């Protein structure tokens, strides 16, 4: 039965540090991915809200001119 490889303490510390860095990078990438997914869901709602606002503003301007010059 082969024995487990033995690492010096310095190498073990480096391995643990690299594992910590990889875990932090993974967490960062997951946060960016969830943010991107949320933005992808909210974009159509923002477009519709802007269109409704623009239509309301155009209607208000149109009614103002109609009532002013009637």
Give the residue-averaged pLDDT of 3-25: 90
Beta-carbon count within 10 A of 15 CB: 11
Higher per-residue pLDDT: 23 or 10: 23
Output the pLDDT for position 27. Answer: 96
Condensed to tens digits (0 to 9), the pLDDT of residues 15-52 reads 999 999 999 999 999 999 999 888 888 999 999 999 99
Is the pTM value of this prediction over 0.85?
A: no
Tokens of 38: 């949320």
Interatomic CA distance for residues 65 and 1, integer angstroms: 92
């Amino acid at each position: 039965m082969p024995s487990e490889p033995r690492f010096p303490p310095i190498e073990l510390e480096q391995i643990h540090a690299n594992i910590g860095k990889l875990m932090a990078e993974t967490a960062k990438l997951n946060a960016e991915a969830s943010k991107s997914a949320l933005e992808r869901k909210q974009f159509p709602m923002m477009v519709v809200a802007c269109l409704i606002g623009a239509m309301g503003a155009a209607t208000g301007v149109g009614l103002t001119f109609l009532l002013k010059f009637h």
